[in-house]
Structure 1
């Protein structure tokens, strides 16, 4: 399986290695701050905060940055108050998109997201227009090496819901959001893991076989993810491995 998940993984690798690292850190710090504000500063009792801290460590963020972000969320340090907003829209070829944002200015964010959709050949949609096609899931990345049978067996034992092969990029183990960290703790006993996160997974997907359409969709995803207030973009497209390699 290829598509938005794989494209996002490719982009995260580039961000972690290049000049965009500062922007990646900024997004992760926002998420840690909001997670701590909403669920408290103890990651043991706050699944969202644990996932955010895992993402920070995966990006090699210094521990001091993580600690300061948590303290800003709990009010121990002064910080900006961010609001959570999710925008829904359609990209080229009818691809459905969910855009998660953290913002201190809703009007600015709405304008930026709307403009990106318009310039990218898509359009902002009404609330609920595409949300029905997505469900929240916990995702644990398994690094390449083990066979699919081995990963599946470990996932079943851990109580996971599904295993998705990412080809040369390894596997994704999917589970209920509340079970994310228990499943990851079980998996890491026998497997080498990557990032752990809570995300939106599409129920129905659109396969993009035409290079121009695929390129247009990926360009829109990149434009949205590059916006300061956008935390993540979730989309329901799939692209064959061969075409994805050409585009990447």
Structure 2
């Protein structure tokens, strides 16, 4: 019997009747992974079957999120970089990218003009608009690399380009530029409610000392909000929740009980 298949079918039916926050979704996913490993004592690590189940899980819940702007940040909190790339490959980088919170490590497949090259263009456009040394640790096809000027207009049509975007301080951020890039390129920019939420959270965002990478900072360290406050904040900001707030609060309590004590993988 394929318990992973049964589990994903049950959650597919359940997810269609509820909305979730990113924290809830990733908490449930991690809870399932721990259960699956415990269920099979011979398995001490995530098997390919578990990984595929997690990818299906991300696909079915992505359209039910109330805080889309938090997805890629929460993804980085809970998954290692290589597994992040599998999720991005499945869902599409432009469906996940949040220009208001762009800090982090990226890998772009330059052969994918429609999404990866466009997403790389967002990073480069923002780096040119904002002051400071904000594009770090550039790698092209496995070698250290410094972005040439002609890439701005004529990027290559193949190869893997990796870089880290880092905003040195709040004074360096250009909210108007970020809003324009979001509205022109990303799924986030198609929803006024999601855009408003992303902007509000960006205003609360705290810039972390360079000695502490943004990837390792908790939600509370980044925004000055606890996870519960973020959940309540998304209820208030997102109009799609209006008719299902009470129902989703019940789900929140159930999820909190199931995931109590479970922490993400750094």
TM-score (ref. length: structure 1): 0.32
Structure number having the greater helix percentage: 2
Structure 1 or 2, whichever has the larger Rg, is 2
Structure number having the greater strand percentage: 1
TM-score (ref. length: structure 2): 0.30
